[in-house]
Structures are given as C-alpha cells and as structure tokens.
Homo-oligomer: A and B are copies of this chain.
Amino acid sequence: MAEERSLIFPAQEYRARVARLQAKMAANAQDALLLTSAADIFYVTGFLTRFWESPARPWFIIIPANGDPVAVIPSIGADLMGKTWMTTIRTWPAPVPGDDGLSLLAETLADMVPATGSIALPMGLETHLRMPLADYLTLTTRLAPRRFVDGTDTVQRVREIKSKAEVVKIRAACAIADRAYARVPEFAATGRPLNQIFRDFQRVLLEEGADWVSYVAGGAGQGGYGDVISPATDQPLQTGDVLMLDTGAVRDGYFCDFDRNYAVGPVSAQTHRAQAALHVATDRALATLRPGMLARDAHRILSDELARHGFADAGGRLGHGLGITLTEWPSFTPLDTTELVEGMVLTLEPGAVVEGGTILVHEENIVLRANGPELLSTRAPRDLPQLD
C-alpha cells in the first residue's frame, strides 16, 4: 500500500512523461536534462515529500537522450526514491561540506553526456536552480567542453499539458476546496478575527481531505480588500466587509488554486456591481477561450469584459497555469504570447477595482479542452454569498 502511494501514478504515467521530455530534448538538440526542483523531480519520478522544506540538501534527476532517468540524491531519500519507478539511484551522505554531491553529479553527467554534448536545465522565467550557485558554476567548469543550455522550453511545453490522470488529481484537489468553501459560514462571521478564520479554513481543508495546505491567502475590508498576499491580522470581520479566501490545497502532490468571496452582512451596491462584472467576465472566458489562442488573449477577454461593465482590471495577471505548483506558466498578461493548448489546466482570475484602492478578485480552475474550458472548481455563485 505504501508503495502504491509513493508512486501516486502507475510507472507507465512517468514513462510517458519521460518519452515526451526526450522528444522535446531531441527537437531542441539537448543530450541530457538536469532537474533540481521539487516540482520537476516529482513530475518525472513521483518522489513526493515535504522534506523539500529543508534547504539543506540538493537533489538531482538526470534524463538522458535515451533510456531511463538517473537519480543522484542525498542518502536520506534513498528509501523513498526506491519506492518510485526509478531504478538507478546514486546517493551521498548529505550534507557534506566541500563536496555536497557535486563530484557524484559531475561523474554521472560525464558518463551520460558526450564531451561535445549539451546539458539542458531550466533557466528561464518561473524557474529556479535548487542547488548552491557556486556548485553549479564549478560544475560547468568541470564538465567543459560540455555546454549547459536553457531547458525551460523542454520542461514547460511538456509539463503544461496535463494527462488524464493529472486532471483527475487536480479535480480532486478542487473538490476538497469546494467542500471547504461551503463550510466557511461555520466559522466566519462578524467579530471573528481574520487570523482565526485563516486557521479554521486550513483546518476545514484538512478535514475535507487535503494532505496539506501549502497556500492560504485572503483579505477582508469594507466593500473589497487592498491586497491579496498579506498574512492575516487579528482584525475582526465587520459588517460591510467582503471576505476573500484563496487556497492552494494539496492532494497527492497536486494543487487547486481558486478563491471565494463572501459578503459580511450587507455590502455596497458598487461591490455587487463589481462581483457581477467579474462573474460575467469569467463566463465570457469560459464560453470563448479555445486552444490556439495566446495567453494574452485570455487577458484581453477578461479585461475587455470588465471594461464593458465599467470596471478597470486590478492589474497583474488575470490567470495562470496550475498543477504541481500553486502557479505555473503561462500568465494571462498583455505580454505573454504562450499558445494555449488542449490539456492545459489554468486559472481564470479576473480582479476588478471596486473603488480607489479596493479590489475584488474572482477565481476558477479549468482544463482547456478542444471545444473550450471545462470547470474543475464548482462555479462560484453569481451573487456574493452573505455570512450571518
């Protein structure tokens, strides 16, 4: 039972992912792909642990041009990696000052990549190198004349298209949040401090089946809120507030990411108008978004519809990818020209300025099908639900 769970999916799912990555590597003339991030390593192997929270140790997966990936990891992870479909697992007793897996990684790459070859790793927007920078710089010198090249396109064009099995997982995460949002009236009411509401919301997400809650944000204010990334204060909810809760709850390593708004007693007519505009704008995107459009088209659909109802968009992106991290590319901004393709899981996240300094943000999760979006979250009600 433990072993099935460690895999999350059957080995065939991972083999298919690696085959797609290798096809993209071939198209980009890359001889190996080096992965260091929790998300990329989970994607290829099924290795799922909260131990990434410790910054102490680097972890490496190498995908060769042909054949199975190789894991080069701290020995503390050998047992768990051994339960995945990985068969070649090389370990060192991390952390080792002075050579924390670097020689083992360099030897492994030298064996797998010809001296004239190229090693791709993600270097672009939305990526980070999860190993000490000094070690990376040493590695590039030690492996010369092999070249290190940008593998962002290789990884992103593959990861952004979700398999059927992945959509099932994201839908399950969304269903957990749906059930938790339905229970918000149990714990949110006038006089309740926002930080207690955040704690209760996390508790309810766990009760509804989240393995853990990687993200909760929100806000509350008269008719709207000013900011959607601040931690909660102990300020009590007041009549006339709009309460917004947003979550990335995790089940089997997959995220949901959508929010819900609640009126705390009666709120202003302008707030109701903003809510209506956000709902209609989302409906418009649900009706018209299609594969072949670009990310910026989604931004345009949403912001045009808001403008048609007299609202400025709240700035920033109006949606993004979603899956094994809380947010993934592309971004619904006026500048993002990423093509939207069938199988992408996306958030529609229009925000509207209610009045000076106050905003409302409305978010749903979808999978993009050939004929348009299919909702993964249960559609928010058209009218703001009212608490107490």
A interface residues (Cβ-Cβ under 8 A, vs B): 1-2, 5-6, 37, 39, 48-51, 53-56, 75-77, 79-80, 83, 93, 95-98, 100, 121-134, 136-137, 150, 152, 195, 198-200, 202-203, 206-207, 210-217, 226-235, 248, 315-317, 320, 325-327, 329, 331, 333, 335-337
Chain B nearest CB, measured from A368 CB (Å): 19
Judging by beta carbons under 8 Å apart, are A211 and B229 in contact?
no
Judging by beta carbons under 8 Å apart, are A100 and B125 in contact?
yes
Q: Which residues of B contact A206 (CB under 8 A)?
A: 199-200, 202-203
Q: Which residues of B contact A235 (CB under 8 A)?
A: 1-2
CA distance A299 to B267 in the complex (A): 61
Judging by beta carbons under 8 Å apart, are B214 and A195 in contact?
no
Chain B nearest CB, measured from A177 CB (Å): 15
Judging by beta carbons under 8 Å apart, are A80 and B325 in contact?
no
Q: Which residues of B contact A227 (CB under 8 A)?
A: 79-80
Interface of chain A, main secondary structure:
loop
Number of chain copies forming the complex: 2
Q: Which residues of B contact A75 (CB under 8 A)?
A: 315-316
Contact (A77, B333) CB under 8 Å given A55-B128, A211-B195, A234-B5: no
When the two chains form the complex, which single residue of B203, B217, B316 contacts A203, counting CB atoms closer than 8 Å?
A: B203
Judging by beta carbons under 8 Å apart, are A327 and B56 in contact?
yes
CA distance A213 to B131 in the complex (A): 24
CA distance A127 to B137 in the complex (A): 14
Q: Which residues of B contact A315 (CB under 8 A)?
A: 75, 93
Judging by beta carbons under 8 Å apart, are A126 and B211 in contact?
no
When the two chains form the complex, which single residue of B127, B233, B336 contacts A132, counting CB atoms closer than 8 Å?
A: B127
Judging by beta carbons under 8 Å apart, are B54 and A326 in contact?
yes
Contact (A229, B55) CB under 8 Å given A126-B95, A127-B133, A199-B207: no
Chain B nearest CB, measured from A250 CB (Å): 10
When the two chains form the complex, which single residue of B6, B49, B203 contacts A207, counting CB atoms closer than 8 Å?
A: B203
CA distance A133 to B137 in the complex (A): 11
Chain B nearest CB, measured from A8 CB (Å): 9
Contact (A128, B132) CB under 8 Å given A5-B233, A229-B76: yes
Judging by beta carbons under 8 Å apart, are A211 and B230 in contact?
no
Judging by beta carbons under 8 Å apart, are B234 and A55 in contact?
no
When the two chains form the complex, which single residue of B124, B200, B337 contacts A134, counting CB atoms closer than 8 Å?
A: B124
CA distance A202 to B48 in the complex (A): 18
Q: Which residues of B contact A122 (CB under 8 A)?
A: 133
Judging by beta carbons under 8 Å apart, are A230 and B129 in contact?
no
Judging by beta carbons under 8 Å apart, are A54 and B325 in contact?
yes
When the two chains form the complex, which single residue of B55, B202, B248, B336 contacts A327, counting CB atoms closer than 8 Å?
A: B55
Chain B nearest CB, measured from A217 CB (Å): 6
When the two chains form the complex, which single residue of B2, B126, B136 contacts A55, counting CB atoms closer than 8 Å?
A: B126
Q: Which residues of B contact A331 (CB under 8 A)?
A: 56, 95
Q: Which residues of B contact A79 (CB under 8 A)?
A: 226-227, 230
Contact (A5, B231) CB under 8 Å given A97-B125, A215-B53: yes
